[in-house]
Amino acid sequence: MQNTPFSTNKTLNINGRLIDLSVPRVMGILNVTPDSFYDGGWFVAERALLEQAEKMLEEGADFLDVGGYSSRPGAAEISEEEEKSRTIKGISAISKNFPGTIISADTFRSGVAEAAVEAGASMINDIAGGNLDINMLTTVARLQVPYIFMHMKGSPQTMTRQTGYTNLLKEILDYFHEKLQVLRELGVKDVVIDPGFGFSKTIEQNFRIARNLEKFSILGKPVLVGLSRKSMIWKTLGISPDGALNGTTALNMVALLKGADILRVHDVKEARELIKLFTSLQVEGSI
């Protein structure tokens, strides 16, 4: 695989605001769904959503990621209209009550992405990298918003049956390389990659990606890591998602040491503390 022509930037241009990623950032997860694997149903009501948004912002979240479609393994399919209704309601409420908040819309549907940006979102976070909606990449290019795209095979309904790889790391890197070429040709300037922990990967494969996370730097783009309370942690430890915060923090430190730029988390305070310790480790040079 040849190197990518993309620049090795550590910034995101969000509505004219240049966000520096030389120090890692925190993205708070806000699922407005009844069935997400950890926080399903918690923030469906607007008051609960706004209380959690305020808490995350006070604790230091740089971005809030609002999603109306549960992507946990085997999650029920919902219509685009249902997803759009949930997502737009959440984004509109946050935009109104917390002006200036950088909101990411977690969706793989171009129609939801477009409506989300109209409602106040300024980033798109797509678990499918355009593979589940042929209009997504051109829509993002037209909207000119930063695009986070993840590696996944299949869909949330089928991904657990699609964990076969001949060469795991090479296949994921090739996937990103090819998508980045398309995005560059479409004129998408701000792109973040997400290796997709837990999506079409076994527990062992997830740990292999974590051990080799630094290899994704060859792509020259910021890396988002979403490890928060995932099954690779709680199944390995023999606990539940409720008890997986300590394991999340441990693996997030590994991710930072291996070059992660954004941590996508349910627990903002702990992630912010982790980043402070991580940056303190680097004060005198190399870690």
pLDDT tens digit sequence for 73-107: 666 788 999 999 989 999 999 999 999 999 999 99
In whole angstroms, what is the distance from residue 287 CA to residue 263 CA? 19
Cα distances from 135 to residues 109, 154, 224, in angstroms, run: 8, 17, 23
In whole angstroms, what is the distance from residue 36 CA to residue 106 CA? 13
Of these residues, 86, 221, 264, 272, which one is catalytic?
A: 264
Tokens of 264: 């996508």
Tokens of 154: 């299949």
Give me the pLDDT at residue 71, please.
Answer: 74
Of these residues, 84, 109, 230, 272, which one is catalytic?
A: 230
CB atoms within 10 A of CB 35: 14
In whole angstroms, what is the distance from residue 45 CA to residue 89 CA? 10
Half-sphere exposure of 8 (CA within 13 A, CB side): 8
Give me the pLDDT at residue 4, please.
Answer: 39
pTM of the predicted model, to two decimals? 0.91
Candidates 146, 145, 126, 121; CA nearest to 136 is 126
Contacts of 204 (CB under 8 A, 6+ apart): none
In whole angstroms, what is the distance from residue 31 CA to residue 125 CA? 13
Give me the pLDDT at residue 222, please.
Answer: 97
**H helix runs in 190-267, sequence order:** 203-211, 231-237, 245-257
Contacts of 155 (CB under 8 A, 6+ apart): 128, 132
Flag residues of the chain having pLDDT under 70.
1-8, 34-44, 72-75, 284-287
Tell me, yes or no, if 264 is annotated catalytic.
Answer: yes
Tokens of 88: 């737009």
